[in-house]
Structure 1
Amino acid sequence: MKQFDQVRILKDIPDEGISIGQIGYILEVYDDYHFEVEISDCKGQTLFLGSLPAEYLEVV
């Protein structure tokens, strides 16, 4: 995975309000296993911005 890839969420993270199937973008690559991801709604408002491990992400 690389910067600006579109990704699909593979696991629910209820504490963060993230659900399986949501789409986001990688904003920063920390290493091969950790990524800064932004998930936005259809109006462009950020719903989540934070670090997620690779096992939660799939490149679309």
Structure 2
Amino acid sequence: MNGIQYEEEKKRLQALFEKTSFGIEHIGSTAVFSLAAKPVLDLMIGSKHLKAERLTFK
């Protein structure tokens, strides 16, 4: 896993959540260049306005 794969997944998630203001971040060992890591991409999705975002999914 690498930064290119992260960017691809980020685009897919942004398309899925296009009407929200979620932030998508690459975390974990795959986010650190040249660090040995398992082939699992760790992502964190966050929102500054979670209450408003919940209304989007009702």
TM-score (norm: length of structure 2): 0.33
Q: Indicate the structure (1 or 2) with the bigger Cα radius of gyration.
A: 2
If each structure's strand is expressed as a fraction of its own residues, which one has the higher value? Answer: 1
If each structure's helix is expressed as a fraction of its own residues, which one has the higher value? Answer: 2
TM-score (norm: length of structure 1): 0.32
